[in-house]
Homo-oligomer: A and B are copies of this chain.
Amino acid sequence: MPAIRNAVKCSQCANTNCLFSLPKESHTLELLENHKTIIFCRKDQYIFYEGGPVNGIYFILSGKVKIFKTGIGGRQQIVRLAKPGDILGHRGFGGRNIYPIAAQAIEDCQICLIETGVFFDVLRNDPELSLKLMLFYADELKNSETRIRNQAQMNIREKIADAILSINDTYGVDENGFLNATLSRQDIGDLAGTNKEQVSRQLSEFNADRLIKLEGKRICVPDAEELRSLLHIYEVVD
């Protein structure tokens, strides 16, 4: 992977949702800018591997990424979809220094890497940033635990509606209402916790029910809230 140092300054970055979207005069920002590396990734390239050593923490500068665990028979479980500004690899810091998941580009990406040592130095010197990160973790944990329940209790129709809504909520839609990401039926299945055949079937049903519109492999969601109403029985507390 070609890598360059300090190509885009954090202070000039457009990703305002990034953890490091900080006041310009911040000391932390200076430290980061001098130590980050930018990596270019082609579609389908891995950013890190499940079981691989932890280098540091990654931030998406541009592009889209899927994060997944591998299970039985190589079956993938997509754990999260990530967009510009999102953090990757923050799960690696626990006990052993090994990523428990893999991250793979679903389109060409630019990724910022901050090495572990630098990152921890930054946190040690900036308590507010630590707290901000902690709140982020709390939120991730909440979402993750909701998904445990959803996997355990939802039926296929609900799981697939939920998956489509995840894509919608993460990447949004283009001017014609089509989801801003091209995921294969297999990918959607890996996200929903089922297989590609069920995804096809349910999408056809949703199409017939006018909940979505299909055009080739592209999916249009005219009214996300109507689709979400399929899930109203899971009173959402989050």
Which A residues have a C-beta under 8 Å from some C-beta of B?
50-51, 69-72, 75, 77, 79, 90-96, 98-101, 120, 123-125, 127-128, 130-131, 133-135, 137-142, 144-149, 151-154, 193-194, 233-235, 237-238
Q: Are B91 and A141 in contact (CB under 8 A)?
A: yes
Q: Assess the A237–B50 pair: CB atoms within 8 A.
A: yes
For this chain, the copies found in one complex come to 2
Closest chain B residue to A77, Cβ basis: B149
12 contacts between A and B (CB under 8 A): A71-B152, A91-B141, A93-B134, A93-B135, A96-B238, A100-B142, A100-B237, A124-B131, A133-B134, A134-B134, A137-B138, A148-B193
Query: Apart from A77-B149, A130-B131, A141-B141, what are 5 other A-B pairs with CB-CB below 8 Å?
Result: A51-B237, A77-B148, A79-B148, A125-B127, A141-B144
> B69 touching A149 by the CB < 8 A rule?
yes
The chain B residue sitting closest to A233, CB to CB, is B72
CA–CA, A154 to B193, complex, Å? 11
Which 5 A-B pairs have CB atoms at the shortest separation, nearest pair first? Answer: A152-B193, A137-B137, A94-B139, A151-B151, A77-B149
Q: Given that A77-B148, A145-B79, A237-B100 are contacting pairs, would A93 and B138 also be in contact in the complex, using a CB cutoff of 8 Å?
A: yes
Given the known A-B contacts A133-B134, A153-B72, are A91 and B128 also in contact in the complex, defined by CB atoms under 8 Å? no
| Chain B residue with Cβ nearest A49 | B237
Question: Which of B93, B135, B154 contacts A94 (CB under 8 A)?
Answer: B135
| Residue with the greatest number of chain B CB neighbours at <10 A, chosen from A93, A142, A148 | A148
Q: CA of A235 to CA of B100 in the docked complex: distance in angstroms? A: 11
Interface contact A234-B123, CB-CB below 8 Å: no
